[in-house]
Amino acid sequence: MVCNYRFCKQIISTYKNGNRRYCDQECYESEKRERSKENYQAIKQLLKEIKCTESIFRNFYKLYGSTPINPNILKAEEINWSLMTSFKEIDGQNVRFVGSYGYSKLENNYIKLYKL
């Protein structure tokens, strides 16, 4: 067996415990720190994207309010449309919220913005 720590890769002797994945406690803790850093960076990137999208919706809500707008106006902003923090039904419309601002797609392919 080989140590699972990404920077070690020593061969582990099986005479102590055949189920070990790391050669010693230091490798285990180091790998745990590396995984924790990766998870933190992924969460940090997601939160940054949420804040950016919420900011875009806030600015457009200030400009247009809740009047339907053409989604081509938002294309230049490169919004991640799969991103949402909550989902509600308002006035029979399914509204996807990103932070405090949300949107729903209308039948005429226009978008209506909402604020919580």
Cα separation, 24 vs 10, whole angstroms: 10
| Exposure string for 18-42, b = 16+ CB within 10 A, e = fewer | eeeebbeeebbebbeeeeeeeeeee
State the pLDDT at residue 35: 95
Enumerate the domain spans of the chain: 25-115
First to last CA, the chain: 55
Q: Pick from 98, 23, 101: which is nearest to 58 by CA? A: 101
Q: What are 1's two structure tokens?
A: 């067996």
Say what the pTM is: 0.74
Mean pLDDT of 44-73: 92
Residue 115, pLDDT above cutoff 90: yes
